[in-house]
Structure 1
Amino acid sequence: MTILLTGADGYLGWPTTLRIADRTDDRVVLVDNLARRRWVEEVGSTSATPIATMDERLEAAREVHGLANLSFVEGDLSEKSFVDELLAVHEPETIVHAAAQPSAPYSQINGERANYTQHNNMQATRNLLWGLEEHDMTDTHFVETTTTGVYGAPEFPIPEGGATMENGGERDEVPFPAMAGSWYHLTKSHDAANMRLAHTQFGIPISDVRTAITYGTETPETAADPRLATRFDFDYYFGVVAHRFAAQAIAGYPMTVYGKGEQRKPFIALEDAVEGLAQLALADPADRPDDLTVYNQVTRAISIVEIAETIADVGDEFDLDVDVEHFENPRDEDETHKMEIENDRYADLIGEQSVTFAEGMRDVLGTLTDYEDVIAAHEDRFLPGVLDDWDGETATAED
């Protein structure tokens, strides 16, 4: 059996690769074009944690964890000829698709980057889905990390994938309407629709894993050796809000909350996100879903002000004098939105939440104190007002 994991060089993809490979003797084929490294360099930033090359990572995985079942293929999934060769050679029984340009702010910079984001993300997914059909591999379990951002911020509880619509006295279950707020998030809305169509037309079993904002710096597998570290972005474009706030705290800047900051966002720890993807990838063939299943990969919703206050409290343990400052909100948004999001299927998959937000921030601050010089050298990348009015939230499906 072969498991194919795309976006294997990314923040979520790399630790997921190690978790899956450690639990199976099957071949695990890693795929990436290493573009995430270029995108972050392009916006003038870097990962706070040093990132080894893929060759160094694979060597460390063999030496430290004894993982001899890993192999790496570098290539661009938006090129159909590459995807066709990839599927023909490796014939995967499972694909975990975590490759994408994952930053909403990056997709909003200008039309060129909006076009690039949509072409890159949606073309890659279409190539994989059509490739499975054209290579007679429609029994392959297709798992994709999309994003909870496809839901937007409705005023009613968000279901796990679908909604009930009533009109003229008739009722039916329909996909949740795409309410994405960025050119990036809209790519995942289109991916969700295309996966549904591929399941309907081709019969491909699909798990649409809608990943929340992910926090944390390591898993047990990545913590075993510095060469196995996953990346940690803290800049405005690629760093999620919790990671940016933590970097501000390390650099001695107050954490900046726009308006009341009581609006809640969905979050999940890196460990819990990795575990869910590993469970889906390694499911016994007899137990795999043969339909399309949506999982809300989230453990809880957290307000922006709670994020800042939690980091400030945890910062005391590291002798950080952290302030929380409120600024006038430049965006037209509900500053008290109480997001409610169902996650029953995902909770059943991973069991109880393993890492609380406070524990995750303790992990983050503990790591970042070792790389204070890197953050200080790039502090202009996360200061408020330097770039534009986006809040820096990104999804975590990474290339």
Structure 2
Amino acid sequence: MTVFVTGADGYIGWPTALRIANRTDDRVVLVDNFGRREWVKSVGSTSAVPVAEIDERLEAAEDVHGLTNLSFVEADLADKDAVDRLLTVHEPEAIVHTAAQPSAPYSQINGERANYTQHNNLQATRNLLWGLEEHDLTDTHFIETTTTGVYGAPEFPIPEGGATMENQGERDEVPFPAMAGSWYHLTKSHDAANMRLAHDQFDIPISDVRTAITYGAETEETAADPRLATRFDFDYYFGVVAHRFCAQAVAGYPMTVYGKGEQRKPFIALEDAVEGLARLALIDPDDRPDDHVVYNQVTRAISIVEIAETIADVSNEFGLDVDVEHFENPREEDETHKMEIENDRYADLIDGQLTTFKEGVRDVLDTLVEYQVRVEAHEDRFLPDVLADAEAESIAAKDSSSSSDEPQSADIEAE
């Protein structure tokens, strides 16, 4: 058996590849074009945790974990010829597809980035799905990390995949409507629809894993050696909110919350995300449902203010003095939205939650304290340039009037 892991140089892809390889003697083929490294560099940022080159990573995997079943192929999945070569040579029985331009803010910078994100993400998925059909590999289990962002923020509990629609007294189960809020999230909405179509037309077994906001600095495998570390982005464009807040805490920067911050978002720890993907990849083909299955890869919904307050609380254990500041919300959103999202299918897959949010935060801060200098050197990347300028003006205004007893205000756009 051969398993593909695409996006295998990335934050989720790399630890997923290690876990799969650690649990099987089968060949695990890693595929990437190192795009994530270039995208982060292009916005002036870097991973807080140094990321080894792929050859050093593979050498460390063998030295530390005895993994001799890992191999790497550099390929651009948006290139159909490259995908055809991969499938012809390796004939995978399972594909864990984590490759994508994953940043909503990056996709919103301008039309060029929006077009690139849509072309890159959609073309890669279509090439793989059509490649399986054209190379007579329709028994291959196709597992993709899409996103819970395809659901938007409805005022009712989000189902795990479909929805019930009623019209003129008739009811039927239909795919949940795409309610994406960015050009990136819309790529995953389209991917979800294309995977459903590929299952209907080609009978490919599909697992659509709708990944929540993922946080955490390491897994059991990556923690064993610095050369095995996965990347950790903390900038405005590629760092998720929990990671940016932790980096702000380590840099002595106030954690900035929009408005009340009571709106809840779906989260999952990196350890829990990797576990589910590895289990799906290694399901025995004889036991795997030949179906299209949606998993909500989330362990709980957490409010933005709870995230900040939890990080501030745990920061005390590391001797960090952290402030939580609220700013006027520039977004049109319900600051008290109590998101509910069903996750029974995914919880069963991983036998329940493995990591609490507080444990995950502790893990992140423990890692970031070690790389505090790298974080501080790029603290201007916590916000995009225009927002960073406003932040600087706000801080200067506070400093100039620090002797005043009057309350200060700020109206920066920060998360």
The TM tier, using the shorter chain, reads over 0.9
Q: Show the counterpart of 2:52.
A: 52
Amino acid at match of 1:363: D
Alpha carbons 1:161, 1:295 under 8 Å: kept? yes
Alpha carbons 1:118, 1:187 under 8 Å: kept? yes
Q: Show the counterpart of 2:180.
A: 180
Alpha carbons 2:199, 2:206 under 8 Å: kept? yes
Alpha carbons 1:236, 1:387 under 8 Å: kept? no
CA shift for structure 1 position 386: 2.3
Matched, 1:386 2:388: yes
CA shift for structure 1 position 253: 1.1
Q: Show the counterpart of 1:356.
A: 356
Matched, 1:343 2:343: yes
Q: Show the counterpart of 1:397.
A: none
Rounded to whole Å, the distance in 1 between the matches of 2:133 and 2:312 is 51
Amino acid at match of 2:3: I
Q: Secondary structure of the residue that 2:3 maps to in structure 1?
A: strand
Amino acid at match of 2:150: V
User: Which sections of structure 1, spanning at least 5 residues, go unmatched?
Assistant: 393-399
CA shift for structure 1 position 383: 4.0
Q: CA RMSD in A?
A: 1.2
Alpha carbons 1:93, 1:139 under 8 Å: kept? yes
Alpha carbons 1:2, 1:94 under 8 Å: kept? yes
Which has the bigger relative contact order, CA under 8 A and spacing at least 6?
1
Amino acid at match of 1:327: F
User: Which sections of structure 2, spanning at least 5 residues, go unmatched?
Assistant: 391-411
Q: Secondary structure of the residue that 1:285 maps to in structure 2?
A: coil
Q: Show the counterpart of 2:118.
A: 118
Alpha carbons 2:256, 2:414 under 8 Å: kept? no
Q: Secondary structure of the residue that 2:166 maps to in structure 1?
A: strand
Alpha carbons 2:83, 2:131 under 8 Å: kept? yes
Q: Secondary structure of the residue that 1:293 maps to in structure 2?
A: strand
Amino acid at match of 2:313: D
Rounded to whole Å, the distance in 2 between the matches of 1:300 and 1:233 is 22
Matches within 5 A, 1:194-205: 194-205=194-205
Rounded to whole Å, the distance in 1 between the matches of 2:258 and 2:69 is 47
Q: Secondary structure of the residue that 1:325 maps to in structure 2?
A: strand
Q: Secondary structure of the residue that 2:283 maps to in structure 1?
A: coil
Normalised TM-score (structure 2) = 0.93
Alpha carbons 1:143, 1:206 under 8 Å: kept? yes
- 1:195–1:359 distance in 2 versus 1, CA, 3 Å: same
Q: Show the counterpart of 1:22.
A: 22
Amino acid at match of 2:208: D
> CA offsets per residue over residues 24-77 of structure 1, 9 Å max, x none?
000000000001000000000000000000000000001110000000000100
Alpha carbons 2:148, 2:266 under 8 Å: kept? yes
Matched, 1:247 2:228: no
Q: Show the counterpart of 2:40.
A: 40
Alpha carbons 2:262, 2:335 under 8 Å: kept? yes
Rounded to whole Å, the distance in 1 between the matches of 2:74 and 2:218 is 24
Amino acid at match of 1:113: R
Q: Show the counterpart of 1:315.
A: 315
Q: Show the counterpart of 1:214.
A: 214
Q: Which has the larger radius of gyration?
A: 2
Rounded to whole Å, the distance in 2 between the matches of 1:128 and 1:146 is 15
> CA offsets per residue over residues 210-252 of structure 1, 9 Å max, x none?
0000010001100001000000000000000000000110111
Amino acid at match of 1:375: V
Amino acid at match of 2:337: H
Q: Secondary structure of the residue that 2:371 maps to in structure 1?
A: helix
Alpha carbons 2:383, 2:414 under 8 Å: kept? no
- 1:119–1:149 distance in 2 versus 1, CA, 3 Å: same
Rounded to whole Å, the distance in 2 between the matches of 1:386 and 1:180 is 27
Q: Show the counterpart of 1:275.
A: 275
Matched, 1:227 2:200: no
Q: Show the counterpart of 2:162.
A: 162
Rounded to whole Å, the distance in 2 between the matches of 1:152 and 1:9 is 28
Alpha carbons 1:147, 1:185 under 8 Å: kept? yes
Amino acid at match of 2:365: L
> CA offsets per residue over residues 285-330 of structure 1, 9 Å max, x none?
1111201000000000000000000000000000111111111111
Between the two proteins, the alignment pairs up a number of residues equal to 392
CA shift for structure 1 position 352: 2.1
Amino acid at match of 1:38: E
CA shift for structure 1 position 159: 0.1
> CA offsets per residue over residues 89-147 of structure 1, 9 Å max, x none?
00000000000000000000000000000000000000000000000110100000000
Rounded to whole Å, the distance in 2 between the matches of 1:10 and 1:157 is 31
Alpha carbons 1:105, 1:390 under 8 Å: kept? no
> CA offsets per residue over residues 137-193 of structure 1, 9 Å max, x none?
101000000000000000110000000000011110000000000000000000000
Rounded to whole Å, the distance in 1 between the matches of 2:29 and 2:107 is 29
Rounded to whole Å, the distance in 1 between the matches of 2:12 and 2:268 is 12
CA shift for structure 1 position 387: 8.3
Amino acid at match of 2:163: A
Rounded to whole Å, the distance in 1 between the matches of 2:288 and 2:116 is 34
Rounded to whole Å, the distance in 2 between the matches of 1:79 and 1:383 is 33
CA shift for structure 1 position 390: 7.8
Rounded to whole Å, the distance in 2 between the matches of 1:182 and 1:288 is 33
Rounded to whole Å, the distance in 1 between the matches of 2:352 and 2:205 is 26
